[in-house]
Structure 1
């Protein structure tokens, strides 16, 4: 006969044997809840965009109609084609709003893949808007409808600008939440230790992109250890991806290297993910390469990624130079009162010349004279070496002196607001500089360049640049090189416009990073 004690012992043994499976089931339930919570923000954010897009379009379209046509019941004449009578502008505007809102959705302008960073979201908004008005023009032509041209010509640009502004405001809100750890994908990295470390550090550096690394699966690593050089915990090997998702509650698997994953294993991982709620991302360990240079091309079932060699085409050079000339002329005209005011202040408060012309190294290593309003006392160059030696930065190719005693009181003010840089618009007109580009440095700094840093000289130096709007005087030399190389290798006209807009904001609100 089996005793009560034996029965209890058997139950206890069974419970102990099920502990691992029970823990995994509990973890799976927890992870599922976490995944649902993690994905709620995508649907919620897209819903908020739909609402504000609709409100913005109603405001723009009906506001334009009232401003252009008044409150009367004006109609769109259609010549009664196919028996269709004239259409009231109130009804026409309603149709335009609905069509415009639908076009924004069809263009995937609210997709979580494009929100938060980059220009893709804005480009899709603009393309969808242009597409709607193009269709209106075609339909109006075919139906011989006489839609008021002024009404359309005002609605289109006003709508694009308003939508972009609304999206930008939402983006600021989203970025602030992402920096606090919310509204981000929870990422499980899978691959070799070196590749996982590289991708983890890059994703941590750009938290605005919305990817939070919660764990890693690395071959041969011990569960519970941290990935070298990061605070990311190891949750399994590359064979434990499904279990890693359970343990971390991740909603995105990012494969950082495929050497340890045979093709069949990669397929199994993709099949195990819940469609629409979990995602698979291939994250090759190549960084600082922008989208226009990357092209995916399937060949014999292989998703080959082509990375274009960075180069300026003739058309790009013409566009950039044209923008420099037009922009410099416009900025000189707009800033002429400031130019005059700063000139008077510099001459009236300290002895010496008005302008300071310093030799800098420009495009392809060519020296040129860069103009600035003088912000230091006469003979300041002769004191630089001693000051750099005193603070221990004479061997770093970013010669900055903290609390520089050579700067005059007026010089400190004009440097804080970048007013000393205004004469460089004349350098732009002369062709030695561009409005946007890597900041030119003196020959002594260029002599300390590494091979990578020398690639900064492949672009015309700029009055402003990517690193200036990313931290100004607080940016380290290594970060400066990385940002400048990213600009040189991924130039675009939209990128230049974005940098100029950020420069304007940095000039108006310089903060503590300007010296």
Structure 2
């Protein structure tokens, strides 16, 4: 049986027919969520506009209806109209990824431009209030309300609800990878419910990692129309020639299914991928990763400015923590260790001391108890960790002194994990690509499980960051780091 049953405003994920097929009401939760977002945006906009109008309009009550009322009503209509024109309420972008907030920002920018032009045309003296106060306030309130709705949606998805039923079609190896990723990241909203492979059931077996194999690749459209899957995920397989992919797209027309084709370059994403039409042929253009230039200069400025601000804010906390470390055990407050940075250059990393004095010398005696993945040495219950050190490690407070490393330029706020010299010496050519950028105080590894990650997954995340870096990705990682630190998962 497939999962279902969900309390308002997120109803059941899929409906079940008597013969086992999936009803077309499977997407009802998407429409319900869309209506909830529209209502939230409308109420938030009305709340901000009414509040600003009442606060400033009370000073000019005699002309309220003539001046303030018209501007308030016009601003609300303009903002909601811009949201509709920019397709900010499209179900495909709601609840996941950065595209939802990009469209929201684009809509509000559009509304600001139209308001400014309207103010110039009407020579209105009051239009500045709505441009520089109302629209930014609407942006803040709507983004907060959408984020709150998204958090609730992701919580429901982790419980197995509000998921789009997916039919995966491709080679067994690539389909297995897709199934594993959807299970690892349920908040993205996909659940692979069926699989089509080159040979179909029988030779491959009736299941692939617990998911039924329902038929060969030639029957994908038939199963989608019969069972109502919301997404057809096409993964790499020699079967998928351009003609067969085009034929599949034609056969899916008229259904509710969205066709998604995974590129052969599975780990390349974000700003490096572009679709161009050359000589009438759609081509996937992959730009080279950038390690220099304007964006890197901006990142360097943000790093040092951010480190200076954070050091100023956390200075009282760092003094208090240093005193706790000194009182708890013998030794200094700080721990210095050699690490490898950009281009293989070594530097001295600075952390609060969390272990007893002489802990490095005791590591050899604990080698047979190592629980770390790959080249890492980790112990969940390391006897060298002090009482205060255990708390500092759990919430990553011990890493605050690394802000000095960021300030001096040897580290970045966001980047790969800084390796030990003996770790980097064992790197192969692929893994050494981690050293093309500065190591980071936080990174994809930090928000994805930290020490609980398998070695291969940690390497994959670091390489993905190196290849697909962007300023927007840095912002997302910094935001998610706050939640990872509070939860303290994978830190020991």
- Work out whether the TM-score is over 0.5: yes
Distance 1:274 1:377 in 2: 66
Contact 1:380 1:406 in 2 (8 A): yes
Distance 1:163 1:267, change over 3 A: same
SS in 2 for 1:70: helix
The counterpart of 1:171, out of the listed 140, 144, 150, is: 150
> Is 1:44 the counterpart of 2:28 in the alignment?
no
Contact 1:30 1:249 in 2 (8 A): no
> Which residues of 2 match residues 163-202 of structure 1 at below 5 A?
163-202=142-181
Contact 1:197 1:229 in 2 (8 A): yes
CA deviation after TM superposition for structure 1 residue 168, in Å:
0.8
Contact 1:289 1:490 in 2 (8 A): yes
CA RMSD of aligned residues (A): 2.6
> Is 1:97 the counterpart of 2:76 in the alignment?
yes
Contact 1:226 1:234 in 2 (8 A): yes
Distance 2:243 2:448 in 1: 43
Distance 2:202 2:139 in 1: 51
Distance 1:326 1:62 in 2: 38
1:14 aligned residue: none
CA deviation after TM superposition for structure 1 residue 134, in Å:
1.0
Distance 1:50 1:173 in 2: 16
1:442 aligned residue: 420
Normalised by the length of structure 2, the TM-score is 0.90
Distance 1:224 1:251, change over 3 A: farther
Contact 2:200 2:217 in 1 (8 A): no
CA deviation after TM superposition for structure 1 residue 114, in Å:
1.9
Contact 2:197 2:217 in 1 (8 A): yes
CA deviation after TM superposition for structure 1 residue 98, in Å:
1.6
> Is 1:513 the counterpart of 2:490 in the alignment?
yes
Contact 2:166 2:193 in 1 (8 A): yes
> Which residues of 2 match residues 183-262 of structure 1 at below 5 A?
183-222=162-201, 225-226=204-205, 230-246=209-225, 248-257=227-236, 259-262=238-241
Contact 1:65 1:151 in 2 (8 A): no
Distance 1:481 1:327 in 2: 26
1:124 aligned residue: 103
The counterpart of 2:461, out of the listed 465, 478, 483, is: 483
1:112 aligned residue: 91
SS in 2 for 1:108: coil
Distance 2:277 2:20 in 1: 33
CA deviation after TM superposition for structure 1 residue 453, in Å:
2.1
Contact 1:224 1:234 in 2 (8 A): no
1:82 aligned residue: none
Distance 1:466 1:134, change over 3 A: same
Contact 1:31 1:248 in 2 (8 A): no
> Which residues of 2 match residues 58-457 of structure 1 at below 5 A?
58-70=46-58, 72-73=60-61, 75=63, 87-222=66-201, 225-226=204-205, 230-246=209-225, 248-257=227-236, 259-275=238-254, 277-391=256-370, 393=372, 396-457=374-435
CA deviation after TM superposition for structure 1 residue 379, in Å:
0.6
CA deviation after TM superposition for structure 1 residue 346, in Å:
1.9
SS in 1 for 2:238: coil
SS in 2 for 1:467: helix
- Segment drifting more, 343-352 vs 47-56: 343-352
Distance 1:345 1:235, change over 3 A: same
Distance 2:172 2:396 in 1: 44
CA deviation after TM superposition for structure 1 residue 234, in Å:
1.6
Distance 1:127 1:227, change over 3 A: farther
Distance 1:137 1:258 in 2: 52
CA deviation after TM superposition for structure 1 residue 360, in Å:
0.5
Distance 1:484 1:419, change over 3 A: same
Contact 1:197 1:230 in 2 (8 A): yes
Distance 1:172 1:392 in 2: 33
Contact 2:75 2:130 in 1 (8 A): no
SS in 1 for 2:239: coil
> Is 1:503 the counterpart of 2:481 in the alignment?
yes
Distance 2:384 2:321 in 1: 18
Contact 1:188 1:215 in 2 (8 A): yes
Contact 1:295 1:307 in 2 (8 A): yes
Contact 1:472 1:513 in 2 (8 A): yes
Distance 2:461 2:433 in 1: 12
CA deviation after TM superposition for structure 1 residue 317, in Å:
1.3
Deviations 1:244-302 (A, max 9, x none): 22554323222223632454443332233243622222222432333211111123443
Structure 2, unaligned stretches of length 5 or more? Answer: 1-15
Distance 1:216 1:349, change over 3 A: closer
Normalised by the length of structure 1, the TM-score is 0.86
1:55 aligned residue: 43
Count of aligned residue pairs for this structure pair? 478
Deviations 1:52-77 (A, max 9, x none): 1000111112212223333753659x
Distance 1:71 1:36, change over 3 A: farther
